[in-house]
A and B are shown apart, each in its own frame.
Chain A
Amino acid sequence: MTAGSTISWDRVRKAGSKLTTPLHPDDYLRLINPLWTSRELRGRVEKVVKETEDAATLVIKPGWGWRWSHRPGQYIGIGVPVDGKFQWRSYSVSSPTKRRGHTIAITIRAMPEGLLSSHLVNGLAPGTIVRLAAPEGDFTLPDPPPARMLFLVGGSGVTPVMSMLRTLDRRGTMPEVVMHYSSPTPDRMIFRDELLALEKKHEGFTLHQLHTDTDGILDLGELDAICSDWRERETWACGPSPMLDAISAHFEAAGLEDRLHLERFTLELGGAGGEGGTLTFRNSGKQVEADGATTILEAGEEVGVGMPFGCRMGICHTCTLTLVSGTVRDLRSGDEFGQPNEPVQTCITAAVGDCTFDI
C-alpha cells in the first residue's frame, strides 16, 4: 500500500464518521473482521508453535494501524483476555524484521509463577483476538551490524537475539558471531535445531551450548576460552537477572561496559516494602512524595495539580486518570494495578513505588 492510498483511505473513514458519529466507522467494520480497526492496535493469533515443553511461538496477524517497523531485538506488548480482563505483558519479537508482511511472531516461555505466560503457552487458541502495543526497546541490532559480535543468552533470553540472527541470516550478512547459550537441559533450549542449522550454514557463526543442570552456570572466567577476543567485540546479553548482574560486573571490571548491551525482562516491582513513592504528573511536570496510605488524588491536589474528582469514594469514576507507569494499590481491596497506560481511579488508590500519571 502506498502512502497516498493510505491517506485517502483515512479520509474515507473520516468522512464515514459523519454516518456513524459518535462512533467511528471502524467500530462497525471490526464487527465484520476484528482486524479492521485502527482505533487500537489489535491482532489475531494465527498459529501456536510449540518450541519446547514449556515454550511456544505465537504467530500473530496484526490489524489496521500496525507499522512494520520493529528492529531486531525489540519487544512488543500483548494484551490477552484472561477471565474477561485484558492482561498485558511484553515479549520479544522473534521473527525477523520486514517492511511489510502478514504476521509477526513472539516467543514465550511459561514461568511456573507466571499466570499469563503459562496461559499463553498452553491455553491460547488460534483465532484469539489480542491487543498489541507498538515495538519498543533499544536492545537492537545496529544497521549495519558490527563485524564481530558476541551474544550471551540464558533461557528465553534467546528470543530477541533470535530475531537478530534471523535478520542477519535473511539478509545474508552474517558477520563473525559467537553465541553462548545457557539452558538447564538440551530439551529446554528454544530454537536449538534452528541454531545448529545456522551454525552449519554460516561459517562465521559459532554456537556454545551450556546445560546448567549438569554443567553448572556460566563461569565468566571462562569467557576467554569461549571467545578469546570478547574484549574487542560488541556484546549483547539477555537472560535471568543474576546472570546479567554477573556479566555486567565482569564487563565493568574490565572497563568495557560501553560495549555491553543488556536486556532485562523481569521487571523489578516494588513488592513488599515498596509502599509509597514519587508521583509524577506528566503534563504539568509536578512531582510529590506520597506514602502508601495517601490517595493519588490527595497527593496531586496537595501540589496543586487540577485533579478531576467526584464522589471521592470510588463510586463515580470521575477521578479516573491514565497511569503511564508504575503500580497503584486499591486501598479498599488491596488489588494492584500497573499495566502500561492503565486507567485508574485516583480517589481510592495509593502508590506502590514511583508512578507517572497523564495529567
Chain B
Amino acid sequence: MAISDVKEYTHLTAEDVEQLGRELDAIRAEVEESRSAADAAYINRLIRIQRGLAAAGRGAMLASAHAKGGRPALVAGTAMLGLAKILENMEIGHNVMHGQWDWMNDPEIHSSNWEWDTAQPAEQWKHSHNYIHHQFTNVLGHDNDIGYGVLRMAREQKWHPVHLGQPVYNALLAGLFQWGVALHDLDIERIRKLEKDPKEMKRQLRQILRKGRNQILKDYVVYPALSGKQWKSTLKANATANLTRNLWSYMIIFCGHFPDGALHFTEEELEDETRAEWYLRQMLGSANFEGGRTLHILSGSLGFQIEHHLFPDLPSNRYPEIAVKVRALCDKYDLPYTTGPLYRQYGQTLRTIMKLSLPNKMSSSDQPEPPTQPADRKRRSDDERQSRRAELGGWSRSPRERSHD
C-alpha cells in the first residue's frame, strides 16, 4: 500500500528524521570535499575505454565485411559495440547528465552539453528523469517511471482489462527500450488528458525525430552502406548490439524501484515534505542489487540505486564507499535497506508485472503494509488524480531556442 507519511511509516520522530537528514548531508559534504584527480581519472579512463571499444567494434565489423572468413571479427565487433553502447548509456551518459562530473569544470564532460548514444534527446531526459523522477520518486501520479506510462506497477493504479496484455507490453518495452525512453518526456498521459501544450509537444517531437533519425541512419544506413555487399550482416550486428543494450538497460532500470521492498507514496506525502523526509522517501522507494565491480560499472552503478537517489550528482565511482555509510545509518535508525542478488530483484519485479496484469483481488501484495491506513483509501485511477505540479515552466527550452525568445 502506498505511503502517505514517511515519518509515520518509519516510526521515527520528526527530530530523528531531521537528524538522519543531517547525517546524510554530512556524507555528501565529505564526498564533495574529497573529490580529486583520482575521480577525474576514473571517468576519463572509462570514456577512453568506451570510445576505444566503439571504434574497434565498428572497425572489426567493417573489416569482416571486406575480408574472407570474417565471421569471428563480426561477432567480436558486435560484442564490442554492444558493450560500448551499454557503458555509454549507463555509467557514462546517465551519470554525466546527472551532473556527477560537473565539478571537474571540463566542458567536454558536463551535464549541460552531453548528448548520449540513444534515441532520447538529452535535454528531454534531463527533465523527465533528473527532475521529475528524481524529485517525485515513486509518488503515484507524479513519477512517470512507475510503469513508464505502459505498465501497471502499483496496486493503487486502477485495473483495466487492457492490463491483461502486460506480459506482452513488458516484453516489447524491454526490446524497444531506447524508443520507450525516447517518448518518455512527451508524457503520453498528459497528451491523453489533452493537457499537453501542443506547441511544446511539437517541439519535443521534432527534437526526438532529429535525434532518432541520426541514430537510425548511423546504425542502419551509413555503416551497412560502408560494408558493401555485406551490408546485411552489419545491419544485423548493429541491431543485435542495440537490442542487447535495450534489454540490459531495461532490466537494470526496472530493478531500481520495483523489487518487493521498494515502496510507493501518495501525493499527501509531498505536502510540506522536508529535505530530510525527501531523503527518507528516496531510501524507502529504491532498491539495490549486489554484485562485483564489473557488474556495477556495466549497470551504471544503479546497483547502488539507494545511494544514487540520495546523492544523484555525486560521482558514481564513490557509491560503493557511500553505501557502507548509508547501510550503517539504516541499521542505526532501524530502516529497511532493500538489496539482493540481481536475479532475485528482477524476479520480484517480473512477478509484480505479472500479478498486476490481473485485478487486485486475484493476487496478494508483496509489499510491506504501512502501520496505519492512510485517511484517503479510495483507489483512484490515473484519470482521477490531480495533474502533476504545474511548475514545469521554462525548464525544457534548449539554449538555442531560448535565445530566440
Binding site for B on A (CB under 8 A): 18-19, 21-23, 27-28, 31, 39-40, 79, 81, 83-88, 131, 283-284, 306-311, 313, 315-318, 320, 322, 333, 339, 342-343, 358-359
Contacts and interface: CB of A to CB of B under 8 A. Distances in A.
Given A22-B115, A317-B111, A318-B130, A84 B394 contact: no
Contacts of B135: 310-311, 315-316
Contacts of B106: 86, 131
B155 interface: no
B202 to A, nearest CB: 18
Contacts of A85: 35, 40, 103-105
Contacts of A283: 402-403, 405
B131 A316 contact: yes
Contact of A308 (B58, B110, B397, B403): B397
A81 B109 CA distance: 14
Given A22-B211, A27-B51, A28-B51, A307 B37 contact: no
A333 B29 contact: yes
A84 B36 contact: yes
Interface stretch (B188-196, B214-222, B236-244): B214-222
Given A18-B218, A21-B215, A309 B40 contact: no
B107 interface: yes
Contacts of B380: none
B395 A343 contact: no
Given A27-B51, A31-B52, A342-B105, A316 B312 contact: yes
A81 B36 CA distance: 10
Nearest to A86: B105
Contacts of B107: 40, 343
Contacts of B127: 310, 318
A146 B217 CA distance: 60
Among A22, A28, A306, A358: residue with most chain B CB under 10 A: A22
A188 to B, nearest CB: 31
Contacts of B116: 22
B105 A21 contact: no
A311 B131 contact: yes
Given A31-B52, A316-B134, A317-B313, A339 B111 contact: no
Contacts of B134: 311, 315-316
A341 to B, nearest CB: 8
Contact of B275 (A284, A313, A339): A313
A79 B104 CA distance: 11
B159 interface: no
B47 to A, nearest CB: 9
Contacts of B275: 313
A320 B113 CA distance: 11
Contacts of A358: 399
Contacts of B112: 317, 320, 322, 343
A131 B106 CA distance: 9
B142 interface: no
B126 interface: yes
A311 B391 CA distance: 10
Interface in B366-403: 391, 393-397, 399, 402-403
B260 to A, nearest CB: 27
Among A19, A283, A317, A339: residue with most chain B CB under 10 A: A317
Contacts of B29: 333
Contacts of A307: 394
B256 to A, nearest CB: 17
Interface string B254-278: 0000000000000000000001001
